[in-house]
Structure 1
Amino acid sequence: MSNTIIGKSPLFELRADKRVSASPEKVYEVVSDLPRQAEWSPECRGGEWASGQPSAVGSIFRGENLRSEEVVAWAPLIRGTWYTEARIVAAEPGRTFRWVMLTHAREDQESLWGFDIEADGDGSVLTHHFRMGTATAGIHKIVKDMNEQECAQFISDWTAKLEQDLDDTLERIKDVIEKQ
């Protein structure tokens, strides 16, 4: 598959930025509280810490997710509720918070999500990013019966969905923080 679109690395590398009227420490306090994700994520409905100290490097978070039928409706995606696990890989208060998605065997995948925060006058610039190096088992399962053109269309449609999710997440986080 290395000569196909699914074999390219990184498969996805996206980021979005939003200015938030709060200190980097306050922004970090909110975005590192993963059980609160239901307040801002288009798919994650929250979850719980499965092991380790909340928000600490090495801790594992079990997330509950929900995807509607309308999301890239033509593709064979998981619909309804499903669960994921992620390991915290960076936790620097006021600066960065990142997690890597895990396989069912709790091995790291090349699927990294996170937030970076920079001071900006009396507020902060919050960056939300996602990088998938090589395709995960989940991506391979989605595209297994697709031809190259369908794979390319899926990657294009999924990229657009992810870009919108990053923007929506940041707008919702901004609202949560600025209304506190």
Structure 2
Amino acid sequence: MAAAHEYSDSVVVTAAPDAVYAVVSDVTRTGEWSPICEACWWDEGDEPGPDGPREGAWFTGRNKTPNRTWETRSVVVAAEPGREFAWLVGGKFARWGYLLRPVDGGTELTETWQFLDDGIEFFREKYGDEAQDQIQNRIDAAHSGIPATLARIKELVEAA
């Protein structure tokens, strides 16, 4: 399925890809770096095993803005230590993820976001005439939130 809207940004973190992956794949820490998601937890039975999170595992996130608080469930669609961690919000509405690539001095960490066709359709059904404004709000949040998230992850990993 093609993404209707997408955005990504990158930062170099002075740590090995496996160390960076261990942080970004721990969804229970998301509230430490996300400007909107204040907390995440693994759904019962989907807690990570000794090798970390797995594809197909579900987690719930609590998001908060000045105007509202809401929760979403997401499914992990990529869990490759040192390489990629990604999830689909609602199982089909938006794809968020982290790509990791070794570079001189550490890891290039790229955060990606795609607002998928099913998500846009869901917003049109839910918000009607206000759908485009709501979609634009999500686009704006990704464009401001991703650089802020990456800066905070870099700070946390490098301080460890």
Structure 2 distance, partners of 1:158, 1:101, is 13
Q: What amino acid is aligned across from residue 40 of structure 2 in structure 1?
A: G
Q: Does 1:131 align with 2:114?
A: yes
> Gapped runs of 5+ residues in structure 1?
1-8, 70-78, 103-107
Structure 2 distance, partners of 1:175, 1:19, is 11
The structure whose residues are more often helix, as a share, is: 2
Q: 1:87 to 1:117 in 2, by over 3 A?
A: same
After TM superposition, the structure 1 = structure 2 runs for residues 14-29 of structure 1, keeping only pairs within 5 Å, are 14-29=7-22
Q: Match for residue 61 of structure 1?
A: 59
After TM superposition, the runs of 4+ consecutive aligned structure 1 residues lying more than 3 A away are 153-158
Q: Match for residue 38 of structure 1?
A: 31
Q: What amino acid is aligned across from residue 41 of structure 1 in structure 2?
A: S
**Structure 1, residues 19-58: CA drift from partner, whole Å, max 9, x if none?**
1111001000000000100100011112211032322111
After TM superposition, the structure 1 = structure 2 runs for residues 89-168 of structure 1, keeping only pairs within 5 Å, are 89-102=77-90, 108-136=91-119, 138-141=122-125, 143-146=127-130, 151=132, 155-168=135-148
Q: What SS does structure 2 have at the residue aligned with 1:94?
A: coil
Post-superposition offset of 1:110: 3.7
Q: 1:161 to 1:47 in 2, by over 3 A?
A: closer
Work out the number of aligned pairs and report it: 153
Larger radius of gyration: 1
Superposition RMSD on alpha carbons, in Å? 1.9
TM-score (norm 2): 0.86
Post-superposition offset of 1:155: 4.3
Post-superposition offset of 1:157: 4.7
Structure 1 distance, partners of 2:77, 2:3, is 19
Percent identical pairs in the alignment equals: 31
